[in-house]
Amino acid sequence: MNTIAKYAGLVKFSHTIFAMPFALMSFTYAIISSPIPVSNLWILLLQVVLCMVFARNVAMGFNRWADWRIDAENPRTAGREIPAGKISPKAALGFVAINAIGFIITAITINSLTAWLSPVALAVVMAYSYCKRFTSLAHLVLGLSLGIAPLGAYIAVRGEFALVPCILAFVVMTWCGSFDIIYALQDRDFDRKRGLHSIPARFSIRTSLYISIGLHILTIAALAWYVWLLPHNLWIWIGAALFTAIIILEHILVTPSRQRNIGIAFGTLNGLASLTLATFVIIGLLIA
């Protein structure tokens, strides 16, 4: 049990709450919009969830392995599992390999398109770990890696691309990219000293928060477009309104002169936002 706890800590398993609800939204939409009943629905749902968990473990495990020397130098991250000696770099890399294999095998069992795209998905989620070494746009690469979730869930059901899940993927990309900028404020001075790239390291705190707000404006606009394309339902619109309100609260709590609430804004509010939106949208889709 202690070993499980160590690896759960390594990959911050609780942060699965960010992308998983969006994958379930997309999965539900794919099911209700399909003219052909999906056989073995619960097995397919299990396959999608497994792919989400495997991909998440690969992304975070590889990030922790790639950054463990950097994390050891940063007082905020020195207590993470690898620099603290709780998990060895070799064991962490083995964990990543096992999950990557699990992801590909599971994707192969779903359909041909998920099989072919599985290595691409892994490449994207692993690429993020090196982006901050050369570009301040690493936040959007992180957003893209999470935005794969709703698109992949739709493809798992329908075996094709479509506009609606692509819009939802854009919602996730801009939403995650924005709150990652807020999160990166904590390491602004360290990143500058270490030569790492991020929006806060490149710009002032005020400008960084303006960029974060701009990305969230794109999120809200894309979300409105997404909701408009769904079956019109009061539940869905209420979910979108609550999601928007939580995002606004995030920017009220974190300002250039007030950054002590970053932990609440990043973890609590964004987790609440994704769960709230998914709950209302899924209910709305099921009763539409």
Tell me which residue range forms the domain holding 33: 2-287
User: What is the band of 49 on the pLDDT scale with cuts at 50, 70, 90?
Assistant: very high
Half-sphere exposure of 240 (CA within 13 A, CB side): 21
Q: Tokens 């911050």 appear where?
A: 12
**How many residues are there in the chain?**
288
**pLDDT tens by residue, 200-212:** 999 999 999 999 9
Q: Is the pLDDT of residue 36 over 70?
A: no
3-state SS assignment for residue 255: strand
Q: Is the pLDDT of residue 140 over 70?
A: yes
One-letter amino acid for residue 179 of the chain: F
CATH of the domain at 129: 1.10.357.140
Q: What does residue 36 show for φ and ψ, rounded to 5 degrees?
A: -110, 125
Cβ partners under 8 Å of residue 69, min gap 6: 83
The model's pTM: 0.94
**pLDDT tens by residue, 222-237:** 999 999 999 989 999 9
What is the per-residue burial (b if ≥16 Cβ within 10 Å, else e) of 68-86? bebbeebeebeebbbbeeb
For residue 5, give Cα distances in angstroms to 10, 59, 66: 8, 18, 21
Cβ partners under 8 Å of residue 39, min gap 6: none
Q: Is the pLDDT of residue 35 over 80?
A: no
One-letter amino acid for residue 236 of the chain: I
* pLDDT score for 1: 56
Considering its fold, how many domains does the chain have in total? 1
User: What is the band of 14 on the pLDDT scale with cuts at 50, 70, 90?
Assistant: low
